């Protein structure tokens, strides 16, 4: 341990009494990331500007990527010898547990086919959620939400357990990492987390029943086409209470869906054209971010407007 900045004492031979563990404090992840970053920099890695948690090292005939989320790390590259050497070097400094080929990361299941295709899903995460809520045997629904449903902040009784509502919706937000088909429905129910009604809880339960029948659905990534596409749309004045529009976009790298979003616009659009332009601008900003990330990865791509 070191003395805090600004603290001074005549004697250097003093002992600090630890009243609280550093693990779990807000400063702990930052200190850990700084230490990990300095260590990776010593091994020739540099952090990307597009994503500070992604580190890259380009050698004479190999490339290596390290993706970090606190103390969960993914290491990949095109040279298995260099990857194993890097793992051994990190193990000399940190205590590592090598889990082998990527199969599970932060609740995301990764399945690799013989042809190199990757299937990303959250089957176990969804099963645990349904089991926790006692809906493991619930009847599945064909869609996550009725297309004509209008959720309002008035019109029904208040839900008796707002804490449960917020907990379930926050979990559903994490499920959208591999389930873009839930994005619209989840963003709708997320607007009422401060004061949920029974109607909102019924909408959440329909999403859960939809998940009951689609637990194994996810994203399939194929290495065939490397062209970059972006699609955007908007629903003008969709919200009946504040008349704000809803923007949505999808970004594809070939046939692979790599980025998507569905959210309310921060301001009111005075026309459908203005709403469309706002959605297009949001999509273009994300396409630019993906483009910059691919440039830092030295990835060969073609931008199609």
Write out the chain in H/E/C secondary structure: CCCCCCCCCCCCCCCCCCCCCCCCCCHHHHHHHHHHHHHHHHCCCEECCCCCCEEEEECCCCEEEEEEECCEEEEEECCHHHHHHHHHHHHHHCCCCCCCCCCEECCEEEEECCCCCEEEECHHHHHHHHHHCCCCCCCCCCCCCCCCCCCCCCCCCECCCHHHHHHHHHHHHHHCCCCHHHHHHHHHHHHHCCCCEHHHHHHHHHHHHHHHHCCCCEEEECCCCCEEEEEEEEECCCCCCCCCCEEEEEEEECCEEEEEEEEECCCCCCCHHHHHHHHHHHHHHHHHHHHHHHHHCCCCCEECC
**Residue-averaged pLDDT of the chain:** 87
Give the residue with greater pLDDT, 119 vs 116.
119
pLDDT bin (cut points 50, 70, 90) of residue 10 is low
Mean pLDDT of 37-41: 91
| Structure confidence at residue 265 as a pLDDT band (50, 70, 90) | very high
Across 296-305, average pLDDT? 62
Q: What's the average model confidence in pLDDT over 100-129?
A: 88
Task: Determine which of 186-190, 217-221, 297-301 has the lowest per-residue pLDDT on average.
Answer: 297-301
**pLDDT of the residue at 12:** 65
Question: Residue 304 — very low, low, confident or very high, per pLDDT cuts 50/70/90?
Answer: very low
Please provide the distance, in angstroms rounded to a whole number, between the alpha carbons at the two ends of the chain.
Answer: 55
CB within 8 Å of 132: residues ≥ 6 apart? none
pLDDT over 70, % of the chain: 91
Assign 289 a pLDDT band (cuts: 50, 70, 90): very high
* pLDDT of res. 19: 75
């Amino acid at each position: 341990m070191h003395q805090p900045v600004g603290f001074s004492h005549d004697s250097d031979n003093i002992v600090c009494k630890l009243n609280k563990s550093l693990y779990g404090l807000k400063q702990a992840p930052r200190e850990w990331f700084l230490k990990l970053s300095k260590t990776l920099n010593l091994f020739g890695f540099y952090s990307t500007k597009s994503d500070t948690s992604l580190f890259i090292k380009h050698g004479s005939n190999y490339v290596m990527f390290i993706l970090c989320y606190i103390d969960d790390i993914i290491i990949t590259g095109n040279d298995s010898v260099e990857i194993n050497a890097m793992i051994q070097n990190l193990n000399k400094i940190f205590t590592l547990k090598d889990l082998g080929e990527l199969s599970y990361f932060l609740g995301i299941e990764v399945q690799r086919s013989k042809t190199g295709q990757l299937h990303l899903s959250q089957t176990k995460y969804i099963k645990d959620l349904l089991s926790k809520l006692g809906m493991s045997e619930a009847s599945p629904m064909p869609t996550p939400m009725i297309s004509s449903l209008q959720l309002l902040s008035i019109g029904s009784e208040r839900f008796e357990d707002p804490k449960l509502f917020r907990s379930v919706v926050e979990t559903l937000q994490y499920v959208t990492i591999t389930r873009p088909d839930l994005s619209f429905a989840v963003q709708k129910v997320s607007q009422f987390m401060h004061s949920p009604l029974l109607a909102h809880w019924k909408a959440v339960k329909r999403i859960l029943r939809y998940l009951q029948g689609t637990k194994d659905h996810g994203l399939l990534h194929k290495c065939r086409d490397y062209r970059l596409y972006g699609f955007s749309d908007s629903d003008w004045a969709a919200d009946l209470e504040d008349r704000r529009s809803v923007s949505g976009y999808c970004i594809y790298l070939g046939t692979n869906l790599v980025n998507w979003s569905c959210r309310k616009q921060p301001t009111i659009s005075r026309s459908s054209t203005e709403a469309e332009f706002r959605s297009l601008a949001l999509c273009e900003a994300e396409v630019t971010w993906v483009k910059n990330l691919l440039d830092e990865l030295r990835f060969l791509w073609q931008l199609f407007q």
